[in-house]
Amino acid sequence: MDLTYSDISLEALNTPVQDWRLLFNFMIKNGHTTLFDAGAGHAYSAQVAQKEFPKIKVYAYEFVEERIKHLDCPDQVIKCVDLFETPIPKCDITYLYLPTGPLLERVLSQLENGSIIAAVESHGELFSRLEESAVHLDSLKISAKRHACELKIYQWQKPEEDLKAKLRQWSFQKTYKQIHIKEKDVLLGNTIWCADIEGLTITPDNFVETIYPPRRFELNQVLQINEPTDVELIERRRAGEIKKIFIKPYGIIEDSVGKRHSYEY
């Protein structure tokens, strides 16, 4: 999954300078001094703080080195890191302009209860995802043409440990764990099939989108999270050789052309 947006314009990739000014003025008014820009793009955040806001310190973490390597911002912390590996810094504000999915979930999972988030979105479901677990505190009218017209400020509230939260917790881990999904099949009747938990996204309207196999179904079809029983089969599905693995009414593999074969489960 490429989240680096290698082909989009600077305007779509970055929050514009004037909107950073707006947010930094809001921070100063409210006594905040540190901001974590999670996936910083060209780190306009750090550049604006360096030039115009001596009281603000930005931690700008970005995966694509070319976007940040020439920057000279001695009072800021600009790092080339993979946020799937590196822990987030503890800051007064965490700034999010990211799509929903495993990367966002990994960042959110590290926030302490009560943390303040500032978020923008262009299209997508970031606000609705945050509103599942965060209280909306304030909105700032912003000018970016590519973004929704408001930057929203939230307070994070750690969610309860239910199945949905567990699915999200596992979605950003390297794992062979499987989810079991119930579904009525035209030929087989009531079935249970399995999918990788790694990489999945839960949409705000409670649909699950898996990558292996690429499917979308309702959250209430998910029965449980299981240890894998056959890693070789899972790897073949990741490689595209297998479309679907049924475990009930009995073991059935659907191959890449849609043909079904039984196997011992």
Ligand X SMILES: C[S@@+](CC[C@H](N)C(=O)[O-])C[C@H]1O[C@@H](n2cnc3c(N)ncnc32)[C@H](O)[C@@H]1O
C-beta of 46 vs 181, nearer to ligand X: 46
Query: Under the criterion CB under 6 A, does residue 14 sit at the interface with ligand X?
Result: yes
> Cβ 62 to ligand X, closest distance in Å?
5
Query: Under the criterion CB under 6 A, does residue 116 sit at the interface with ligand X?
Result: no
Residues numbered 245 to 264 that lie near ligand X (CB under 6 A) are none
How far apart (Å, rounded) are the C-alpha atoms in residues 114 and 118? 13
Question: Encoding tokens for residue 40?
Answer: 């910083």
Query: Under the criterion CB under 6 A, does residue 83 sit at the interface with ligand X?
Result: yes
Does an H or E element contain 48, and which? Answer: helix 44-52
What angle do the packed helices 17-29 and 44-52 form, to 10 degrees? Answer: 60
Query: Under the criterion CB under 6 A, does residue 39 sit at the interface with ligand X?
Result: yes
Binding test (CB under 6 A) with ligand X, winner from 26, 84, 176, 265: 84
Query: Under the criterion CB under 6 A, does residue 44 sit at the interface with ligand X?
Result: yes
Residue 194 forms beta bridges with which residues?
A: 180, 245
Query: Under the criterion CB under 6 A, does residue 97 sit at the interface with ligand X?
Result: yes
Q: Residue 214, preceding bond cis, omega within 30 degrees? A: no
Give the type of residue at 108: L
How far apart (Å, rounded) are the C-alpha atoms in residues 249 and 265? 10
Binding test (CB under 6 A) with ligand X, winner from 41, 101, 102, 199: 41
Q: C-alpha angle with apex 156: 150 to 160, nearest 5 degrees?
A: 135
Query: Under the criterion CB under 6 A, does residue 15 sit at the interface with ligand X?
Result: yes
Binding test (CB under 6 A) with ligand X, winner from 23, 27, 35, 40: 40
How far apart (Å, rounded) are the C-alpha atoms in residues 164 and 261? 32
Binding test (CB under 6 A) with ligand X, winner from 36, 59, 61, 154: 61
C-beta of 69 vs 261, nearer to ligand X: 69
C-beta of 98 vs 111, nearer to ligand X: 98
Are 226 and 179 in contact, with CB atoms under 8 Å apart? Answer: yes
SS3 141: strand
Binding test (CB under 6 A) with ligand X, winner from 23, 32, 36, 37: 37
Binding test (CB under 6 A) with ligand X, winner from 3, 22, 71, 188: 3
* Residue facing ligand X at closest CB distance: 39
Residue 95 forms beta bridges with which residues?
A: 37, 118
Query: Under the criterion CB under 6 A, does residue 77 sit at the interface with ligand X?
Result: no
> Cβ 95 to ligand X, closest distance in Å?
6
Residue 117 forms beta bridges with which residues?
A: 94, 154
Query: Under the criterion CB under 6 A, does residue 105 sit at the interface with ligand X?
Result: no
